[in-house]
Structure 1
Amino acid sequence: EWGPNWEDDLGGEFDQRSRDKLFEDIQKDMYSTFENTFMMYLPRLCEHCLNPTCVASCPSGSVYKRE
């Protein structure tokens, strides 16, 4: 039922999350609005920041800044 990546598994999400204690006060119409949201990837060119947040937030280390 619940696993380490439960928020990434969208199959049957409303049925599972509707029983969750953290979401019990949310109305069902708000649930459907939340379920219909989407994420969009927008590629950006490097801004050559002095202290880049993308490097600090990258968990795998695939983004790095050369000296």
Structure 2
Amino acid sequence: MNDINPRRIDGGEEREAGAAGSSSSIHGRQSAASFTERLSELEMENARLHRLVAELLIKNQQLRKPH
């Protein structure tokens, strides 16, 4: 359950800093294949985050139960 990928979390700041001068920012053109690949990555990450939220909600409920 604690298989958090720090590269995903820490990588955001580096991308933001590098994106300002990059020609591959959101205004640049992407190939259909790279767009599809990125979309797939985002869908997998979204599913992972949904599972993580569900696990945390269950743990929260268990912690709130009187023993």
- TM-score scaled by length of structure 2: 0.24
Q: Comparing both structures, which one devotes a greater share of its residues to helix?
A: 2
TM-score (norm 1): 0.24
